[in-house]
Structure 1
Amino acid sequence: MTTKILIENLKIFAFHGVLPEEKILGTNYILNVEIQADLEKASESDELKDTINYAEINDILHNEMAIPSQLLEHVIGRIINKTKNKFPQISFIKVKLTKTNPPMKGEMDGVSVEIEKRF
């Protein structure tokens, strides 16, 4: 059995970017995370210890977003590593991070980087 846990459109204000003003002004970011694991035991036991606690994943996301980085890829890499270390039963993770107000010409909803990793 494969179970998916999805965290969808989590908005966090943070200070990532290469330009100096990005580290001073900050902007909103949107996180989407998909995690897959065999959580059949939790479907039978109804015990938190048998699943992946998505509240703890939310804490990881907030903690890693609070660390300023130049590259979104670096932020995502930290999120993937911390999440997998905390929950070794994860078999797949995908993280999409969107900068909603990138300092570029043109009107857009944002610029995203998405990384997925299979274990």
Structure 2
Amino acid sequence: MGKIRLKNIRIHSNHGCLQEEMLIGSDYRVDLEISADLSQPAVSDKLSETVDYVHLNNIVKEEMAIRSNLLEHVAKRIIDRILLEINEVTEIDVEVAKINPPIGGDVESVSVNLRYTR
């Protein structure tokens, strides 16, 4: 078993319940960690035998481009896509953070973390 981590994927998107968030958008950070059996690609050195982190990054970018009211909803969509498209993944941990959220205070970010085990 092994893990692949994508840290600090930075994306601008239009998630949120406030009108201004829907129109101007906000900056987001996504951290993703997946578990899979990486023993074979560790020996073979073949991309076709591992979980391609370019594919993971594309899933995150595509799902983050679809507007949602809640970060929970976006995180769940990312998980669902990975499970659907990449059979080798056995566990997923995803954190979606809104940078400088408009919540009336000096807050660096708010985040939601979801974990799923197949």
Normalising by the smaller structure, the TM-score range is: over 0.9
Offset of residue 21 of structure 1:
1.0
Partner of 1:79: 78
Q: Deviations over 1:34-82 (max 9, x none)?
A: 1001111101111111000000111111100000000111101110010
Offset of residue 101 of structure 1:
2.0
Q: Are 1:29 and 2:11 matched, yes or no?
A: no
Partner of 2:115: 116
Q: CA RMSD in A?
A: 0.7
Instruction: Check whether the contact 2:14–2:26 (CA below 8 A) recurs between aligned residues.
Output: yes
Distance in 1 separating the partners of 2:54 and 2:26: 23
Distance in 2 separating the partners of 1:112 and 1:100: 9
Offset of residue 105 of structure 1:
1.6
Give TM-score scaled by structure 2 length. 0.97
Query: Which residue type is aligned with residue 37 of structure 1?
Result: A
Q: Which runs of 5+ in 2 are unaligned?
A: none
Displaced runs of 4 or more, over 2 A: none
Q: Secondary structure at the match of 2:100?
A: coil
Provide the identity percentage: 39
Distance in 2 separating the partners of 1:108 and 1:10: 20
How many positions carry a matched residue from both structures?
118
Instruction: Check whether the contact 2:101–2:108 (CA below 8 A) recurs between aligned residues.
Output: no
Offset of residue 103 of structure 1:
1.2
Distance in 1 separating the partners of 2:74 and 2:88: 22
Query: Which residue type is aligned with residue 65 of structure 2?
Result: A
Q: Which runs of 5+ in 1 are unaligned?
A: none
Give TM-score scaled by structure 1 length. 0.96
Partner of 1:54: 53
